[in-house]
Structure 1
């Protein structure tokens, strides 16, 4: 996103380089683009110090340290309703950009951040799997580098504090520099955690705010119970947990016999358990939306469905808290609910026009879904897609059911 945004923004606010720090990307929270003489030397610690002076929704012009030198910098920051927002530091071509350019830049960044936040909150399975692998690799690298630098700096401080150096002023200066480096190192570890994780209770609070407009005017009583334990959740876990909970609650609201719903999160050892229970007595046919299965599969998640006729349905999603090796999605798990419906029509030998009539869609929309599902299934023709659907029998991810 950053290179494209920088390219478009250049028409409004010409600049040499841009650096971004975001709380919405577990794959790479820190990004740069532009003049390599600047971007190669930019550090996340510099951007973190600049971010403290940014004002969400505004363009702030200031002098600050970026790429190891004092520079004129334009800061753009956002805090959208969805996602955690981001800050971008620009090195402008002109020392004093016009007020109009600054105002437009701030608005463009706000719009871009809203879109980026939404995509981060609801990522596609392939993006989510990539984020998991990248986040795990980054965490391991950060740990190794942190231990190496910490040992080096502690040894440096021990030597400098020994009093064996004759030049007391040099010793004091070196001590101060090393102490500051240790502080920055600890801050970097905390910043990485803050950008890639959030407390479980705060994450559930965001969910409650998101559900408020939905359940506030419903004729169904909705009870929300947050986690008792306040461990930090990886952002991919938090985002997925909110998506799954919202989807299950909305599905329960759509069932005609539902009068009460309870949605809860519980940290159970190494997993986050998301449970949504309703009291609709007519439970036959209750299934989980394939789109939600598509969300939990890359995380190693699983479903449990306890459906008792006359009493209601309890659906639980278990999401492992520790990183897992991203599993390979089965072909049909890559398709959303609408694409599965279109594939069903294809497997029955229907033409696009017939599928459109059955699903009450335009023929153009059906063509769009056909193109997408062929790409996701990695096949080149409708015949191959139909054969694959027949072989797999359009089975969704397995669930554990208990019937009373």
Structure 2
């Protein structure tokens, strides 16, 4: 008997997908869909996840080359609720693809592209995967409107980091103005040379300002050495015409930095260098070093005012969402060394303890369950309706990943939940 003609089998597969956590959604859908529509790879783009809007699963030869531009073109070809078979580019090559789109009432919708392994899928297979994707995407959109605390914190951190990266436009503008003032104040240049230097600097800055906004919109990556070369070019006008000695030491590493990290690293380095100059330093050394899975940004100076050698709050706000931290070593008479340590990988928020997934009202209901109370008794204690208590019980069982009140009670006692109102 065809498994997909068995209602219980279909329901079990739907349950398997709906129980997936955010990062498991695509792999689980891909595994389920593969039973009816075999495929080599899957790529998804969603508007409801600010942290990782693009997700891939399957053959690395394909998924490793997928770009956001390709997925945007495919999204325009999809028809919500249907499976569209198209010939388009994915992973840098033109292929036969199955495009599934959704447009739920809640959320911004999502698109998934599958790379079939064989000939064109039959209509029945296309119909099944289209309906499965409708169910999964509607559920995902609803969960996105009420995310769990750890997901919300991670998404907010990533969104903040990207917004901060875009505001590098202002940082670049500030650096350009400081460099112009340095040229105009320099006693080493005559009037004609100063005008020419200022003109060249202004022209280069305009080009940079016009291009940086578009560049910051893409969440791509760039080699660490190229990212540092960009920083050197940004600081060069300020360093070249300044009486202070500024040494810049690059990472000498071709590993790629996520764009968020690269932008933030340049902003942090510029900010620390300018702060060192403001403290009266006569020699400043800025360096990047890729140390294992972290980028170390170190700025060392000989400024006498070590009491002010504290990273600015604005710079702390830049590195914190990306999991960064400071190391500060300031010695009177010797100067200061400030290091920003930034992880290279996306920082996943640690899994919360089971009880941390519950809100205060759910904890009160669970406390009643742990004391052996029935729904009616819990409702009377908490001044709720019995129907509301039933609703909370269902939510509690789902969040704790248990199937019965007894299991929930045992878990509450093992985790030493204080009996509210006992």
TM range (shorter): 0.3 to 0.5
What TM-score do you get using the length of structure 2 for normalisation? 0.42
What TM-score do you get using the length of structure 1 for normalisation? 0.44
Larger Rg: 2
Question: Which has the bigger relative contact order, CA under 8 A and spacing at least 6?
Answer: 1
